[in-house]
Chain A
Amino acid sequence: MNEYTTHIKSKINWFDFDLKELWRYRDLIFLFVKRNYNTRYKQTILGPLWLILNPLITVMLYVFVFGNIAGLATDGSPQFAFYLCSNAIWTYFATCITETSNTFTANTAIMGKVYFPRLVMPVSSVITGFLDLMIQVVMLSAVIIFYLCTGTQIHITSALLLVPVLIIQTALLGLGCGIIIAACTTKYRDLVVVVSFGIQLWLYASPVVYTSTMIPANLYNIYMCNPMAPIITVWRYSILGTGEFPALHWGISWIITVLVLFLGVMLFNRIEKTFMDTV
């Protein structure tokens, strides 16, 4: 049966991914990203300005609540830069999860009618989020340059080169978590509620508004098992040059990322074949 180009079979193998096919559909990924952008701010007054306003307001709130009222230390970084920095990577992670987790439920109409590799949808969501992150990174750079000019304590080191690695890791982890949830939500809608709630909890379980150095020593190892904790810590270390560099925990975080992603792709791949019957 080799002369046939496609074989539709009833038995679904757990390890049957076709990443080559995903690559063939790269035009579609690109178009989905473009569509997400083009349509997001149609018929809004401020338009893409929201991309700047949104983090700006959040960060100002953080500075006010956690910086001034709670008085949490920032390892010596200027508060504004500190929160802007951690908020950028965290927002990206949260967006990746929320946007990919509703892949099946939000796109039933189109997926019920035509075939394309379903992974195209979550991947394009992650890329869309990446462009948002870039805007925040530009903002962050502007702030850092401002601080450098005014002589505030910010150390730019060679660790800055880790930034792309960290972004990729965050994307992969967000994608992995998101598609696991997506695979589960086809049957149980509870998880949609869990996602928005869970991300809030996860935010406080990660060193976004505080630093990892504040964690008591006896809890530190458990705390760092949260894969986002080392990512955010290293992220701030590489950009602001403050805080610690937990190399071992970052390694573990990478292992978790790869495992989660692998599990996610596997589950997703299995569910995508029949989700139309259960969604």
Chain B
Amino acid sequence: MSDIAIKIENLKKRYKLGAIGGATLNAELQSWWARKRGKEDPNLKIGQDYSKAGESFWALNGIDLEIRQGEALGIIGSNGAGKSTLLKILSRVTAPTEGDIWINGRITSMLEVGTGFHGELTGRENIYMNGAILGMSRKEVDRKMDSIIDFSECRQFIDTPVKRYSSGMYVKLAFAVASHLDSEIMVMDEVLAVGDMNFQKKCLGKMGDAAENDGKTVLYVSHNMATIRNLCSRCIVLQKGQIVFDGEVEKAIERYTEEFALELPSYYDLASYTRGGVALGTKVCINSIEFIDRKSAVFRNDEKIDIQIKWKEMESLNFYFRIIISTVDGTVIGMIDSKSSVGHLSEGEYSGLLQIDISPLVAGKYMMLVEAYKFAGGLSFQVDESPLIPVEVVKGENCKYHNWVNQYWGRIMFDDIVYR
């Protein structure tokens, strides 16, 4: 019982749709008077959907959750799933409509770093200010001042008003303050989106430490699956205000990405597809891409993928195909090249079969991007590209590994080590 840090019971939050009240008291009285006489409300915009007015929207619809102490919980979900609302309620910025939350310990919320910073005050003054807002006493801040300044990497500028700071320094300072709090629970909403790589790493390290060594509870919302993987020991997926998955991080991420790649079509008609660049598709235009003899783009990693490509050449050109494979969250994994030119000497419509070998890929979902490119002066230039094509790779029958862990080992199974 006592090792539970946060207990959420049947939490609901309702927002009213449409404008909340009139903008002014006068407008509200007008509306009220009109309704009273059964007349049309003079303040409704013409064409406004009347049926929605006064209706409500459940941003959170019955959340039940228990978070143990020392747990690092990731919260993922598409936009509007209720992640931020949940964090707002937890950090007591707004109150729930129904339900209860019991919290054991102090909560630091970092919904946005640098809240309460005042541009005219110096870095040092702002540390006191921000510390106090987050609930630290003056003595506590005094004690940690040096450590905070070191962590922020801003010692040189600490007595300069923060309005002269770069946005990176600003964030570093703010994060430094927040991360030095002695609170038992940390609530964070994408705070690491800013700051350079080194600092992000440092912050992740600090948060990981907090969860693992200091027994702090961390709640982290992010769209960056890599940081969720790094930091969290458990993950929930929110969808339309409800928890649709609760458990292992990898499975949660898979569950979440499924929302975007539910269908895996095997045929793409690209003749009328709008290219990402103006020049793309003007010299060579890929008309269609098809995975031959497939109903959907699901492949075993011990088989070869046959791709039928049809294209049109507008001019005589030496060009090549390459296929770029990335994970669903956008990390590029590798590239396969056609190596020899597929171009023809005259314009016209052509088709060809590309066969690729995906045996090093571990099971999972991937994105493929087919590109046509040419060489000019030793550099390669894209001439056309397909949209991202979602594919799924499943384990073949004679797979070398049974328990491959993406989180630790990545996505590629290299050939075995040759021991001499």
Closest residue of chain B to A12 (Cβ to Cβ) is B95
Which residue in B90, B97, B135 is a CB contact (below 8 Å) of A10?
Answer: B97
| Stretch of A1-9, A85-93, A195-203 on the interface side | A1-9
Determine the distance from Cα of A179 to Cα of B249 in the docked complex, in whole angstroms: 46
Contact, CB under 8 Å: A188 / B28 = yes
Residues of B close to A39: CB separation below 8 A: 118, 120-121
Residues of A close to B111: CB separation below 8 A: 112-114
Determine the distance from Cα of A44 to Cα of B374 in the docked complex, in whole angstroms: 63
Contact, CB under 8 Å: A8 / B25 = no
Minimal beta-carbon separation of B137 from chain A (angstroms): 5
A 1-23 contacts with B by CB, 8 A: 1, 3-10, 12
Determine the distance from Cα of A187 to Cα of B15 in the docked complex, in whole angstroms: 15
Minimal beta-carbon separation of B257 from chain A (angstroms): 29
Which residue in B94, B103, B116, B118 is a CB contact (below 8 Å) of A273?
Answer: B94
Q: Count the A-B residue pairs with Cβ separation under 8 angstroms: how many?
A: 114
Over the window 175-203 of chain B, the binary record of Cβ atoms lying under 8 Å from chain A Cβ atoms (1 yes, 0 no) is: 00000000000000000000000000000
Closest residue of chain A to B126 (Cβ to Cβ) is A35
Which residue in B24, B90, B95 is a CB contact (below 8 Å) of A190?
Answer: B24
Over the window 40-79 of chain B, the binary record of Cβ atoms lying under 8 Å from chain A Cβ atoms (1 yes, 0 no) is: 0000000000000000000000000000000000000000
Minimal beta-carbon separation of B54 from chain A (angstroms): 15
Contact, CB under 8 Å: A113 / B101 = no
Determine the distance from Cα of A42 to Cα of B15 in the docked complex, in whole angstroms: 41
Determine the distance from Cα of A39 to Cα of B163 in the docked complex, in whole angstroms: 12
Determine the distance from Cα of A89 to Cα of B240 in the docked complex, in whole angstroms: 55
Q: Does A111 contact B (CB under 8 A)?
A: yes
Residues of B close to A7: CB separation below 8 A: 100-103
Determine the distance from Cα of A112 to Cα of B106 in the docked complex, in whole angstroms: 18
Over the window 95-119 of chain B, the binary record of Cβ atoms lying under 8 Å from chain A Cβ atoms (1 yes, 0 no) is: 1111111111111010110011010
Residue of A25, A113, A187, A278 most packed against chain B (CB within 10 A): A113
Q: Does B23 contact A (CB under 8 A)?
A: yes
Contact, CB under 8 Å: B121 / A10 = no
Q: Does B89 contact A (CB under 8 A)?
A: yes
B 116-174 contacts with A by CB, 8 A: 116, 118, 120-121, 125, 128-129, 132-135, 137-138
Contact, CB under 8 Å: B1 / A114 = no
Q: Does A218 contact B (CB under 8 A)?
A: no
Contact, CB under 8 Å: B91 / A10 = no
Over the window 45-86 of chain A, the binary record of Cβ atoms lying under 8 Å from chain B Cβ atoms (1 yes, 0 no) is: 000000000000000000000000000000000000000000
Assuming A3-B2, A10-B100, A27-B132, is B115 touching A113 (CB within 8 A)?
Answer: yes
Question: Which residues from chain A sit less than 8 Å from chain B, CB to CB?
Answer: 1, 3-10, 12, 25, 27-28, 31, 35, 38-39, 42, 109-116, 187-191, 273-274, 276-278
Starting from the known contacts A3-B104, A8-B95, A110-B115, 5 additional A-B residue pairs (CB-CB under 8 Å) come to A6-B107, A10-B96, A10-B98, A27-B137, A190-B26
